[in-house]
């Protein structure tokens, strides 16, 4: 397909013609990607231990840089859309939070003692969740103090702390974050519409958001304030999204905003509420595309740089965390359900806190899957994340030219160039604005061969019937419900 004019392209109620993709499945919502992990055979404990021993060796690396992700799973309430590992806040036993910090410190020490980790250039610490701001003041200070003691160049590397407005507005916790040099704080807003907030399970209030921003000003916080905003929420209109963006940028003025299209995973509460017709379905696919393009135009016109596909920042480069997340650095995964990438291995920690603690007691580290994925697996990860990172150097691809997956990946890349979503330069490939709007399709093309069984069945149905999961007069207003209830073998969890 020849390159098409795309400035602007999707505003308006009618489907654009032509589109760069005739298969619209990744712009839709009900897809279950694999990312090369869900079909792995679980390893024996001996195999895990054998692979962990490889971290005692310095060599065999692909990345010189490494960062640490620390997961805190506790939440005071659960948002309906959330797909992250989380546990109920232990109201009756708050000492469990301090116990969890004990084990985070133990696991951190195990990794920091490994020669492979010691030989890397440390770039960042990211504390995410869950809701890390549910930790006590004492627990936060103890964790930060230990990180400052054991992490190389702690004072100069990038440090991010995640919270939610209700628990993070505590000015004493904010002072701790500032005093220990965290130069990025991030928290979800999702939408300012009180009706939508209630429907998606957000129990924090607009007043909580205001107080958080006010308290950051009171302590003279100079780091980046990074917020999440969602679009394509159930029942959300295009005008409502425009109003959210205007409020965010002109009233709160964050240094960075992540604009996330809502993902309706078939085993999460929000999708179940839609199936039960207690929530509206998302809007049409064309509204979703219009929101995605408008967000790009609005943020760039207001002085933000599109650093990765869904992130808009006052800075003109991605954060170290985003760079690592997109496969350009190694990641140490610490905490319950944390995932990491080291050498050519992927680490997955247990998702239950009791198992997490038991593994550290037994082995010093919690990983239950430290498994090599080989150069083909590393290439898959790089290419799947390329549409989000927006560029890939040709020199980065050189070591993979003899891999089995190299030729198929290049075929996908060339198709995206032909569709006008990616541009080839002398030394790199770059995703343009059109590719950013369609980045879900680009990613799905790269990961299609690793999709799990349910994902493949969904793609085949959508592709064969040229239908999509969205409210559209061509298919009726209840297409999602009819499809899922007509195919219960796809999602047995929904039938419980």
Q: How sure is the predictor about 35, in pLDDT bands with cuts at 50, 70 and 90?
A: very low
Which is more confidently placed, 361 or 266? 361
Query: What local confidence, expressed as pLDDT, does residue 447 receive?
Result: 84
In 220-236, which positions are buried (b, 16+ CB within 10 angstroms) versus exposed (e)? ebebbbbbbbbbbbbbb
Cα dihedral: 440, 444, 447, 452 (round 10) = 110
Residue 349 pLDDT grade (very low, low, confident, very high; cuts 50, 70, 90): very high
**What is the β-pairing status of strands 256-261 and 305-308?**
unpaired
Return the pLDDT at 425. Answer: 96
pLDDT category of residue 477 using cuts at 50, 70 and 90: very low
Alpha-carbon dihedral 243, 302, 127, 55, rounded to 10 degrees: 130
What is the H or E stretch that residue 207 is in? Answer: helix 206-218
Token representation of residue 475 = 């298919």
* Cα–Cα nearest to 468, from 486, 451, 483: 483
Render pLDDT for 372-416 as a digit per residue (tens, 0 to 9). Answer: 888 999 999 999 999 999 999 999 999 999 999 999 999 999 999
For 303, which DSSP code?
Answer: T
367 within 8 A of 341, measured Cβ to Cβ: no
Q: What is the pLDDT of residue 457?
A: 64
pLDDT for position 20: 75
Supply the pLDDT for residue 270: 81
- Per-residue pLDDT, 39: 46
Beta partners for 341? 331, 346
Interior/surface letters 383-413, b for 16+ CB within 10 angstroms, e for the rest: bbbbbbbbbbeeebbeebeebebbebbeebb
pLDDT score, position 136: 93
pLDDT of residue 134: 93
| CA dist 189 → 115, 231, 238, 246, 490 (Å) | 40, 11, 18, 14, 32
Residue 15's pLDDT is 60
Angle at 165 between CA 159 and CA 168, to 5 degrees: 50
Over range 241-266, report the average pLDDT: 92
CA distances from 333 to 11, 53, 84, 112, 324 (A): 41, 16, 14, 12, 12
pLDDT exceeds cutoff 80 at 91: no
Residues in the chain: 496
Mean pLDDT of all residues in 428-441? 93
Inter-helix orientation angle 238-247/285-301, to 10°: 20
Query: What pLDDT score does 161 carry?
Result: 98
The Cα-based distances of 111 to 52, 65, 116, 210, 264 in angstroms read 10, 15, 9, 39, 35
Q: Is pTM, for the whole model, over 0.75?
A: yes
Please name every residue paired with 392 in a beta bridge, in sequence order, or none if there are none: 429
| H-type alpha helices, 219-263 | 238-247
pLDDT at 299: 97
3-state secondary structure 75-133: ECCCCCCCCCCCEECCCCCCHHHHHHHHHHHHHHHHHHCCHHHHCCEEEEEEEEECCHH
Predicted confidence (pLDDT) at residue 170 exceeds the cutoff of 90: yes
Task: For residue 73, give both structure tokens.
Answer: 């799973």
pLDDT digits (tens, 9 = 90+) for 97-156: 999 999 999 999 999 999 999 999 999 999 998 899 999 999 999 999 999 999 999 999
Q: d(Cα 209, Cα 122) in Å, to the nearest integer?
A: 33
Q: At residue 301, does pLDDT exceed 90?
A: yes
189-194: Cβ within 8 A, 24+ apart: 189/165, 189/227, 189/228, 189/229, 189/248, 190/79, 190/228, 190/229, 190/230, 190/233, 191/229, 191/230, 191/233, 191/236, 191/240, 191/244, 192/243, 192/244, 192/247, 192/248, 193/236, 193/240, 193/243, 193/244
Rg of the chain in Å (alpha carbons): 22
Domains delineated in the chain: 45-325 (3.20.20.70)
How many Å apart are CA 97 and CA 84, to the nearest integer?
Answer: 18
Q: In whole angstroms, what is the distance from residue 250 CA to residue 432 CA?
A: 26
- The single-letter DSSP state of residue 68 is E
Give Cβ neighbours of residue 152 (< 8 Å, ≥ 6 apart).
Answer: 122
Tokens 């490889």 -> residue? 54
């Amino acid at each position: 397909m020849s390159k098409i004019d795309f400035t602007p392209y999707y505003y308006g109620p009618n489907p654009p013609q032509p589109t760069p993709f005739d298969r619209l499945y990744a712009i839709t919502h009900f897809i279950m990607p694999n990312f090369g992990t869900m079909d792995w055979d679980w390893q024996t404990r001996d195999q895990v231990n054998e692979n962990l021993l490889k971290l005692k060796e310095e060599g065999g690396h692909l990345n010189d840089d490494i960062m640490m992700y620390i997961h805190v799973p506790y939440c005071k309430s659960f948002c309906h859309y959330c797909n992250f590992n989380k546990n109920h806040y232990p109201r009756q036993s708050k000492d469990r939070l301090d116990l969890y910090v004990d084990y985070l410190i133990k696991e951190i020490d195990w990794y920091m003692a490994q020669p492979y980790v010691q030989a890397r250039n440390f770039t960042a610490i990211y504390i995410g969740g869950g809701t890390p701001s549910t930790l006590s003041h004492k627990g936060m200070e103890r964790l930060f103090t230990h990180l400052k003691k054991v992490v190389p160049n702690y004072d100069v590397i990038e440090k991010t702390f995640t919270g939610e407005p209700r628990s993070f507005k505590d000015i004493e916790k904010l002072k701790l974050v500032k005093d220990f040099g965290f130069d990025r704080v991030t928290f979800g807003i999702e939408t300012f519409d009180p009706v939508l907030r209630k429907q998606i399970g957000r129990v924090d209030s607009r007043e909580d958001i205001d107080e958080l921003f006010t308290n950051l000003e009171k302590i003279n916080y100079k780091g980046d304030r990074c917020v999440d905003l969602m679009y394509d929420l159930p029942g959300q209109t295009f005008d409502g999204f425009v109003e959210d963006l205007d409020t965010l940028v002109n009233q709160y003025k964050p240094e960075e905003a992540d604009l996330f299209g809502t993902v309706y995973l078939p085993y999460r509460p929000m999708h179940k509420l839609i199936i039960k017709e207690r929530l509206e379905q998302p809007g049409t696919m064309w509204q979703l595309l219009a929101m995605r393009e408008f967000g790009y135009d609005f943020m760039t016109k207001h002085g933000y740089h599109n650093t990765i596909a869904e992130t808009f920042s006052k800075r003109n480069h991605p954060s170290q965390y985003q760079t690592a997340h997109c496969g350009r650095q190694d990641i140490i995964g610490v905490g319950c359900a944390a995932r990491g990438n080291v050498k050519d291995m992927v680490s997955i920690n247990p998702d239950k806190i009791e198992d997490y603690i038991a593994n550290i007691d037994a082995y010093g580290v919690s990983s239950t899957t430290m498994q090599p994925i080989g150069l083909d697996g590393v290439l898959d990860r790089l290419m799947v994340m390329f549409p989000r990172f927006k560029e890939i150097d040709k020199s980065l691809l050189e070591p993979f030219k003899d891999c089995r997956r190299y030729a198929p990946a290049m075929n996908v890349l060339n198709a995206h160039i032909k569709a006008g979503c990616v541009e080839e330069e002398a030394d790199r490939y770059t995703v343009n604005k059109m590719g950013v709007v369609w980045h879900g399709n680009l990613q799905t093309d790269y990961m299609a061969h690793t999709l799990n069984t349910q994902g493949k069945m969904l793609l085949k149905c959508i592709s064969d019937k040229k239908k999509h999961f969205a409210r559209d007069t061509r298919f009726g207003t209840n297409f999602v419900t009819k499809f899922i209830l007509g195919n219960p073998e796809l999602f047995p969890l929904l039938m419980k």
